[in-house]
Amino acid sequence: MKKTILFFMLLLACAVSAMAQTLDEAVHKLDNAASVKDYEALEKTFTALSAQQPDSWLPWYYAAYCNAKIGFLYQDDGDKIEPYSVKGEEQIGRAQALLDSAKQRQELSEVLTVASMVNRTKVFINPMTYGRKYGMLSEKYLQQALQLQPENPRALFVRAWVKYYTPKMWGGDKPLAKELAEKSLGLLAKDKSGTAPHWGKVENEALLAKFR
């Protein structure tokens, strides 16, 4: 009997330690994430972390970011995106609610950047019908993000991405996209690692690779 209890306690301890990945570890993992599976697993981790750190905006921010990334990976599969977009939208809203918008301008800029990405994923569901509404919302959040922090490398990357993929007649500008991505990359070099948002290197490099 004692042995059984011990065994279960051990099992429980293992389970807890598996779940109780620190935010540090999860963010480190996120730096190397690439597939939908990776992001799905990390999204679960971040959601779990949000329960442990109810006052921190970062777990919600990262959970929403994972959902946005899944949306971008599913860009050509409109049928699959919606549940991720909807979750991402809710999560980024929670992150924003935890911020003091008067003082935490830099953090708010990061949150709005991801909000812009989440709305962009809604456009992918069916650009023809969702494009008008969510494209506009996505642009609005991005503008707000850049207004709060003009040198936010992640907001600059999203701007570069949009400029690259928008038809010329509607304001698309490929040379500007390149310029913005390079600027973003330059600014990222100064970013610290740790738990603060610092993603963007891989994304910028992928976009710049299209110019070669």
Partner 1 sequence: MTKYLIWIFLPALMGNAHAQQTLKDSTGKALSDTVPRGTPKNLKLVTVSAGAFEASDKAKGASLTPMDAVTVAGSNGDLTQSLRSLPGVQQIGETEGLFVRGGTSDETKQFIDGTLFKYPNYPSVPGIPQGARINPFLFKGILFSSGGYSALYGQAMSSALILESVDLPEKSSASFYLFPANQGAGLQHLGKDNRSSFGLGLNYSNQTLYNALVPHVPDYFQGPSYLEGNANYRVKTGRSGMFKVYAVWNKSAVGMYNQDVDSAALRSGYLVKGGNIYTNMSYRTMLGKDWKMETGLAYSNNKDKRTVSLVDAAEKPATLPEVPPTLKNNTSDIRSNFAQTRVVFTRFLAGEQAVRIGAEHFYTKDAGVYRDSAVAQTDQLSAVFAESDIYLTSGLAARVGLRLEHTSLLAKWSLSPRASLAWRLSDESQLNFAYGLFYQEPQNEFLYRNRDLSLSRAAHYVVNYTRRAHNRFLRVEAYYKQYQDLIRLLPPDVKSVSTGNGYAKGLELFYRDKKTFKNLDYWITYTYLDTRRDYLNYPMSLRPPFAAPHTMTIAVKKFFPDLSTGVNVSYALAAGRPYYNIRYSDGWQLADQGTTKPYSIVNLHISHLMTLFPRWKHKDFSGFAVGVNNLLGTKQVFGYNYSYDGQHKMAVSLPANRTFFVGFFMSLGIDRTDDFLNNNL
| Angle, helix 36-52 to helix 23-31, in steps of 10 degrees | 160
Least Å distance, CB 3 to partner 1, is 39
103, two tokens: 């003082």
| 136 sits near partner 1 (criterion: CB under 8 A) | yes
How far apart, in whole angstroms, are the C-alpha atoms of residue 174 and residue 193? Answer: 30
| 150 sits near partner 1 (criterion: CB under 8 A) | no
Which amino acid, one-letter code, is at 164? Y
Scanning residues 77 to 116, which ones bind partner 1 (CB under 8 A)? 77-83, 86-87, 89-90
Least Å distance, CB 83 to partner 1, is 5
* Closer of 135 and 197 to partner 1 (Cβ): 135
| 128 sits near partner 1 (criterion: CB under 8 A) | yes
65, two tokens: 């970011």
Of 33-41, 47-55, 94-102, 163-171, the window that binds partner 1 (rule: CB under 8 A) is: 163-171
- Please give the radius of gyration of the chain, using alpha carbons only, rounded to the nearest integer: 19
Scanning residues 52 to 81, which ones bind partner 1 (CB under 8 A)? 76-81
Q: Of 7, 16, 22, which Cα lies nearest the Cα of 53?
A: 22
Check if the beta carbon of residue 30 is closer than 8 Å to that of residue 195.
no
* Closer of 23 and 89 to partner 1 (Cβ): 89
Of 49-57, 159-167, 191-199, 203-211, the window that binds partner 1 (rule: CB under 8 A) is: 159-167
Check if the beta carbon of residue 60 is closer than 8 Å to that of residue 95.
yes
| 7 sits near partner 1 (criterion: CB under 8 A) | no
SS3 assignment for 24-46: HHHHHHHHCCCCHHHHHHHHHHH
Q: Which residues bind partner 1 (CB under 8 A)?
A: 76-83, 86-87, 89-90, 123, 125-129, 131-133, 135-137, 139-140, 143-144, 147, 162, 165-172
